[in-house]
Structure 1
Amino acid sequence: MAMPQSSSRWPFFVAGGILVAFIVIVLAIIFVPTSRVWTDDAYVTVHHTVIAPRVSGQVISVEVDDNQTVHKGDILATLDPNDYQTALDEARSIEARDKAQVMDAEANVARQPALIANAQAEVERLKAQLVFARQNASRYAHLARTGAGSLQEGQKSHATLDELTASYKAAQAQLEAAKAQLVVLKAKNEAAKRQVSVDQARVRQAELNLSYTQIRAPFDGMVGERNVQAGNVVPAGAPLMAVVPIDDLWIEANYREVALRHVKPGQKVHIHVDAYNIDLEGVVDSVPPASGAAFAPLAPENATGNFTKIVQRLPVKITLVPGQPLAKLLRMGFSVETTINTGLENIVEQQRHSNQSVTAR
């Protein structure tokens, strides 16, 4: 007995139904907007610090090792302080010497008014003597004309007058010099004080240089990439190790620009960590000001005539929600997957009614 025609066609109907369903699903994925945008081009990162000495010297000890946890202010390494201690001692000695010179200059300034007063008194004394000598010379001149006085006495009185006149002028010059010397002494005193200020700055710099021989952790974190050993002679600025602030890690998720249509700061993010197969919660911190290619050392040149349009990726910054114990497992460089719940927010419309950037922090 022959089988019905319909029963022999049902595999084609099933296959056709599966094909139609597949096409519908693909078209829905492509054209139907979704409130959740996902990427696996995401990594754990942090602004870490490369530890380098601010002065040169020989390393006499290294207090930490790779992967060691440190706290702010902990000594990481120590340079030989002897040269810097000697420089500090020398700077302090120079400061003490110049302070003594300031005291001497101040004493000279304080003494000078008395010398001026003494010179003034000498001028007044000679002025009085000069008045008497002029009167005496006039008297002898009159006596000489009448024949009552001798020529010798007249000449002597004139000589005395000339001598007192010269002494009076010299005393006046000394008085003016004493007054001018006061200005000079004040200037020297001020210069000595300024020199002490310079010496104090040099002492402070020498103290800083000595303190720089102890290289300390700038914040809490974990040591990595240690490449220094006791006995090494290192120049200023040479990288010794890195300190990574483990508690300040964040996610850099590189989303395609077309996926950011509804993304803005404050939206919740689901984070899956590949290393431990765990899930964490985060928040969109900000959308960057430029794509990753814009900050590349060799920026793409699109004006050469062979331009090919490529969808760019922007590194969206995602911060972790506080209070997640599993976040302590994260390490810089881990690969993660992020899914932003955008809620299909109308970013364009929001920006149209705002003078501030709605996608910036």
Structure 2
Amino acid sequence: MNDEKADMPPEKDSAPLPADPVAAGAPAAEATPAEPEPDPQVDPPPSSWRPPEKKKTTVIAIVAIALVAVLAVLFAWKLPPFAGGAERTDNAYVRGRVTVISPQVSGYVTSVPVQDFAEVKAGQVLATIDDRIYRARVAQAEANVAAQQASLANSAQAQRSREVATNSQDAGVANAQAQLTRAEADMRRARKLVADGSISTREFDQTRAALLAAQAALQQARASRAIGTQDVRTVVVGRAGLEASVAAAKAQLRLAQIDLDNTVIRAPTDGQLSEIGVRQGAYVSAGTQLLSVVPHNVWVIANFKEAQTGKMAVGQRARFSVDALGGAELTGRIENLSPAAGSEFAVLKADNATGNFVKVAQRIAVRIAIDPKQPLARRLRPGMSVEAHVDTNSGPRR
């Protein structure tokens, strides 16, 4: 066991305890109260740093920036003093008189002398259709007109012939009248002669028979004259029908000529073409959409809510930003307001005669004329989306 203790490493000397002066018999010193050390976390030492004083110009700039920010918020939210001065909507579009070009006749397209998006003038040829059939129809109509005019001329000649025959019948009536006069004179002489026996009864009867024959001849001549008059009237009445036939033939000729003219399709007005939808050699029928002509006269249709149009009137200033032009703004004026809400022009009207009713704000279309002499106005195209603003404080009010 002694050997094991010898082999163990010597233990470290423990730290000596502080000597107790009382226990050591040293004279006790008078105890003085020790001051507590300050805690920097609880009671930090006083600092001498102060923020630098702001200059007067800096204060003015800060106030000005704050005021501009407040005004911007008021303007964005349309709060006083900016409330009620302008109305805006993004339900607005550029509009124009887009004309759809369609043929009025059917046939094969023989030529298309224009290109996509080309500028055209009024009357310029856009396409042509094979016109051989329509030329033949025009020739046929012209022949029909000639035939009807010949019939009308024959009627005039027949009238003149009937009138000449009537003159001859007048002469026949005069001859019969003369024969009757002579027969009546013979009859008067015969009555006197038969009374004194100068002539026989047989001669008297012959004279009487001649008188009766003369009377009958006069009646026959007058009847022939009446027939001749009716023949002339028949020709005159028949001429009206022939004149109507001539007019109908001429109308058919005009229709055939119109169809022939319509084989050449022309631009109705100045403008720019859309994409060409027909090619040479294609067969088209009447009403087939070939292309469109877009005039350069455009305007803006803005659909405002009905509550926004309370102070709008014709002549008020407006401005609109165009999405296709990077938000560029153009100016204009209100030209007119729609006479009814958009729902009134719908094909299917909404039926609100039920118990479940939800009030929906209606839209009133406002037409805005674009001010002239604006370079960007030439780049406007029908169908572009815009954001319209109307200054209701400008111009008259309703």
Is 1:56 matched with 2:56?
A: no
Q: What are the ranges of 5 or more consecutive residues in structure 1 without an aligned counterpart?
A: 8-17, 352-361
- Deviation (angstroms), 1:310: 2.7
As a proportion of its length, which structure holds more helix?
1
Which residue of 2 is the match for residue 96 of structure 1? 146
Deviates more, 1:40-49 or 1:140-149: 140-149
- TM-score, normalization by structure 2: 0.72
Which residue of 1 is the match for residue 307 of structure 2? 258
In structure 2, the CA distance between the partners of 1:148 and 1:243, relative to structure 1 (3 Å rule), is: closer
Which residue of 1 is the match for residue 339 of structure 2? 289
Task: Measure the CA separation in 1 of the matches of 2:357 and 2:46.
Answer: 62
Task: Measure the CA separation in 2 of the matches of 1:147 and 1:263.
Answer: 122
Identical counterparts, % of pairs: 32
Task: Measure the CA separation in 2 of the matches of 1:303 and 1:143.
Answer: 113
- The aligned amino acid for 1:257 is E
Task: Measure the CA separation in 2 of the matches of 1:28 and 1:81.
Answer: 64
Query: Does the 8 Å CA contact 1:52/1:237 hold for their aligned counterparts?
Result: yes
Looking at both structures, which has the greater relative contact order when contacts are Cα pairs under 8 Å and sequence separation is at least 6?
1
Is 1:205 matched with 2:205?
A: no
Query: Does the 8 Å CA contact 1:262/1:344 hold for their aligned counterparts?
Result: no
In structure 2, the CA distance between the partners of 1:328 and 1:30, relative to structure 1 (3 Å rule), is: closer
Which residue of 2 is the match for residue 220 of structure 1? 270
- Deviation (angstroms), 1:180: 1.8
Deviations 1:18-52 (A, max 9, x none): 9xx87994698354214232333222121311112
Which residue of 2 is the match for residue 29 of structure 1? 77
- Deviation (angstroms), 1:119: 0.9
In the alignment, which of 353, 365, 374 is matched to residue 303 of structure 1? 353
In structure 2, the CA distance between the partners of 1:88 and 1:2, relative to structure 1 (3 Å rule), is: farther
Across the two proteins, how many residue pairs are aligned to each other? 332
Which residue of 2 is the match for residue 38 of structure 1? 88
In structure 2, the CA distance between the partners of 1:223 and 1:187, relative to structure 1 (3 Å rule), is: same
Task: Measure the CA separation in 1 of the matches of 2:301 and 2:388.
Answer: 10
DSSP-derived class of the 1:275 partner: helix
5 Å matches for 1:333-352? 333-343=383-393, 347=397, 351=398
Deviations 1:81-115 (A, max 9, x none): 22222222122212222222222222333343332
Task: Measure the CA separation in 2 of the matches of 1:184 and 1:3.
Answer: 138
- The aligned amino acid for 2:322 is V
In the alignment, which of 117, 132, 157 is matched to residue 67 of structure 1? 117
Task: Measure the CA separation in 1 of the matches of 2:264 and 2:125.
Answer: 6
DSSP-derived class of the 2:393 partner: coil
In the alignment, which of 185, 188, 204 is matched to residue 238 of structure 2? 188
Query: Does the 8 Å CA contact 1:66/1:226 hold for their aligned counterparts?
Result: yes
Task: Measure the CA separation in 2 of the matches of 1:89 and 1:118.
Answer: 44
- Deviation (angstroms), 1:73: 0.9
Query: Does the 8 Å CA contact 1:275/1:334 hold for their aligned counterparts?
Result: yes
Q: What are the ranges of 5 or more consecutive residues in structure 2 without an aligned counterpart?
A: 1-43, 51-65
Task: Measure the CA separation in 2 of the matches of 1:3 and 1:206.
Answer: 112
- Deviation (angstroms), 1:229: 2.8
Deviations 1:256-303 (A, max 9, x none): 333333322212222222222233221111222233333333333333
- The aligned amino acid for 2:313 is K
- The aligned amino acid for 2:136 is T
Query: Does the 8 Å CA contact 2:318/2:332 hold for their aligned counterparts?
Result: yes
Q: CA RMSD in A?
A: 3.3
In the alignment, which of 270, 274, 280 is matched to residue 330 of structure 2? 280
Query: Does the 8 Å CA contact 2:316/2:396 hold for their aligned counterparts?
Result: no
In structure 2, the CA distance between the partners of 1:106 and 1:43, relative to structure 1 (3 Å rule), is: same
Task: Measure the CA separation in 2 of the matches of 1:292 and 1:198.
Answer: 47
Deviates more, 1:337-346 or 1:42-51: 337-346
- TM-score, normalization by structure 1: 0.78
DSSP-derived class of the 2:90 partner: strand
Which stretches of structure 1, 4 residues or longer, exceed 6 Å deviation after superposition?
21-24, 137-141, 153-156
